[in-house]
Amino acid sequence: MLYNSLIFIMLFMPIVLIVWYGLSYLSNKSFAKLFVIGMSFWFYGYYNPSYLWILISSLAFNYFISFLFLKISSKNISKIIFILGLTGNIGLLFYFKYLNFFIDNCNFIFHSDISIEKIALPLGISFFTFQQISFIADRYMKKANHYNLIDYIFYVSFFAQLVAGPIVKHDHFIPQLYKDDVGTFKADNMLKGLSLFSLGMGKKVLIADTLALLVNAEYDNIPWLDMPTAWCVIIFYMMELYFDFSGYSDMSRGIGLMMGLDIPVNFNSPFKADSVRDFWRRWHITLSDFLTQYIYIPLGGNRKGKLRQCINIFIVFLVSGIWHGANWTFIVWGLMHGIAAIVEAAFPKFKTKSKLFNVFITQIYIILTFSIFRADSLSQALELWSKLFGFKFMNNFIGMCNTLEIPETYAIVKFLELTRPSLVNVVYLLTFIVITIIAFMLLKGMKAEEWINKYVYTKRGLLVISTIFVWSFISLSHVSVFLYFNF
């Protein structure tokens, strides 16, 4: 089920809110939690009920590992249990996400002909697997309690963060379930949560999906791109990915806030970053935190000399690339970020004194690396880069703008096609200019929650939020999945 769908907005979410608060008020709060767990299972299995067995098996396995830690006091046996738990989680992820990729590469390298049926990737498996790895790692290090079964299942399966994160730590989320006021209706939380959900939906439906029209069309049209259009495409993709994923994260936090639960922030103005390492402190923050806490620091972090630190950075970004998908494009993308981060760590004075210049260079590098991230293959990425640096100008700009066929301009375009056909291209060009200006203003402006805190109780703020919600809701006939559902 998608947040940006009629069934979620008109049926699923109202039922959840009414019953969550109703049961919390009228009866034991465990019944309210069980209800949300049931709704989360429906949410997850909405398109493919068979995925539920994967989620339930993963929950049972990791909870059993946690239970074993409770019963075992021997350090050696605890270590074996931890390795077993880690192997089980990574094995599950490998089978569903990487087995086909592994076999394809084995066939290529060894000229073999191993064949297996294509394995479908279950939604959210990377997110709920990493979430549970963090839990059993903390259990092994005695940094986490063995929670009761209802609270644990609620934590992992909560629909607001199940399929595309954020990656929520147990010590951030579960203690909230023990608070006396959990399930207590608060008008302020409801208003701010609904506002954040609306702004996130606007990011996804009105901005990201519009940018996607151009990006998808031109990534299928790379041989005919020239230098200006190629740069426009990769810049639009970077903005599309940001508005799509940060929009999802805002909607996720908004849902949590409406229910009185805090879900961690996942983005902090990443396009203001002045280095690659700064970028990863601002982009997909919960993944960066996970990789830092459970890979970088256990490897030694920066405590064992500069060379060891650089090796650890390399490993972390290699894991990040692999985590994002079973394709060499993701691995190369991760390594490019790792190399940049190593250079920054090894040569801290490498940056110039101009913050503006550092931001500019960083963003260009980020955009270039993400153009590989978006490509279907390394050969397609190389072809695109040949256009980016080919210094060819073929006047394809207007043709690229014509991919922006949006409902808002449909009537105008049809009218001009009948009366003044020469002006149709002007409409598409203006659409390109307007969406570009809006996107850049939003990237450099206040974060959604800052804006809400400042304007939510003003007439202007309520008018803007209401307009965005209604406009996005009307546009739901063109529902599209969130990009990070693929990871």
Burial class (CB in 10 A: 0-12, 13-18, 19+), 424: middle
Query: Which structure tokens are listed for 406?
Result: 């949006």
Helix axis angle for 51-71 and 149-157, nearest 10°, is 140
Closest CA to 485 of 156, 4, 91: 4
How big is the CA angle at 312 (ends 307 and 316), to the nearest 5 degrees? 150
The answer to whether 243 and 211 have CB atoms below 8 angstroms apart is yes
Query: Which structure tokens are listed for 312?
Result: 């650890």
- Alpha carbon distance 40, 223 (integer Å): 44
- Alpha carbon distance 358, 368 (integer Å): 15
Given 284, 324, 337, 478, the catalytic residue: 324
**Known catalytic residue at 170:** no
- For 60, 86, 90, the CA distances from 67, given in Å and listed in that order, are 10, 15, 19
The answer to whether 384 and 232 have CB atoms below 8 angstroms apart is no
Q: How many CB atoms lie within 10 A of CB 77?
A: 13
Helix (H), strand (E) at residue 363 = helix 355-374
Contacts of 368 (CB under 8 A, 6+ apart): 234, 385, 388
Query: Which structure tokens are listed for 249?
Result: 């994260």
Cis peptide before 166 (omega within 30 of 0): yes
The answer to whether 208 and 244 have CB atoms below 8 angstroms apart is yes
CA 272, 373, 159, 258: dihedral to nearest 10 degrees? 20
- Alpha carbon distance 203, 207 (integer Å): 5
User: Which residues are marked as active site?
Assistant: 324
